[in-house]
Amino acid sequence: MDLNSKTQLQLKIVLLGNANVGKTSLILNFMSGRFLEQQPNSSGASYSFKLMAIKNEQVKVQIWDTAGQERFSGFTSLYYRDANGCMVVYDVTDPSSLQKSVEIFKTVLQVNPRASFAVIGNKADLQYELSVNQTDVKAAFYQALQDNIDREKIFKRIQFLETSAKLGTNVTQAFEHLAEQSVEAGSVHREKQQDEGCFKKKKGGK
């Protein structure tokens, strides 16, 4: 490991999934522990930063929020093609959002096969409306890899987790685990440490 204190590990995580599954809410909860019943509609993509301690090292994690399904077309590949970690989010009360997350997973994997993946079932606090169970989710993602030569390896590395952005359940775990996996996968890059509060966007992550 490079112990030069003037450089810092940089990591890019993107959240993808249907509109309304809770992507913006997950980020808000992770960044500030807050929750809004009426989350203002997000449009386009935006990012925020969090400094995280991973394996005794401070890592600067860039977290990208994207608008939902309607925006998930060719041009958004800009956001995930150089991502180290991809959080694919569905809503545990909405089976169609699971289908969408499987499609997203397949698309991202084609463009960015080195990415680490977390498959996140959000809104787990709505237990009485729960209509998607973990066994079906895992089966759907395993099925999605049927033509992939690295099927077992990729599947084993996917983190499956149910979260509640409302209650804060498993939110930190989801982000921390994905960040750790991304560092372990080794596709992260190092760059000169910036002054606090100031960051220049760097193109390309590999």
Ligand X SMILES: Nc1nc2c(ncn2[C@@H]2O[C@H](COP(=O)(O)OP(=O)(O)O)[C@@H](O)[C@H]2O)c(=O)[nH]1
How many of the other CB atoms lie within 10 Å of CB of 134?
A: 13
Which residue in 37, 70, 147, 195 binds ligand X (CB under 6 A)? 37
Q: Which is nearer to ligand X, 62 or 187 (CB)?
A: 62
How many of the other CB atoms lie within 10 Å of CB of 173?
A: 13
Site string for Mg ion, 8-37 (x = CB under 5 A): ---------------xx-------------
Q: Which of the choices Mg ion, ligand X, none does residue 158 contact, using the CB cut-off of 5 to 8 A by kind?
A: none
Applying CB under 6 A, which part among 3-11, 18-26, 102-110, 172-180 lies near ligand X?
A: 18-26
C-alpha span between 58 and 5 (Å, rounded): 10
Q: Which is nearer to Mg ion, 20 or 148 (CB)?
A: 20
Q: Which is nearer to ligand X, 85 or 121 (CB)?
A: 121
Which residue in 12, 14, 16, 23 binds ligand X (CB under 6 A)? 23
Residue 86 C-beta: closest distance to ligand X, Å: 15
Residue 6 C-beta: closest distance to ligand X, Å: 36
Size of the site for ligand X (CB under 6 A): 20
DSSP the chain: ----TTEEEEEEEEEEESTTSSHHHHHHHHHHS---SSPPPP-SEEEEEEEEEETTEEEEEEEEEE--GGG-SGGGHHHHTT-SEEEEEEETT-HHHHHHHHHHHHHHHHH-TT-EEEEEEE-TT-GGG----HHHHHHHHHHHTTT-TTHHHHHHH-EEEE-BTTTTBTHHHHHHHHHHHHHHHT--EEEEPPPTT-----S---
| Site for ligand X contains 20 (CB under 6 A) | yes
CA 188 to the chain's CA centroid = 15
| Site for ligand X contains 166 (CB under 6 A) | yes
Applying CB under 6 A, which part among 15-23, 107-115, 132-140, 198-206 lies near ligand X?
A: 15-23
> Which residues bind to Mg ion, rule: CB under 5 A?
23-24, 42
> Which residues bind to ligand X, rule: CB under 6 A?
19-25, 36-39, 42, 68, 122-123, 125-126, 164-166
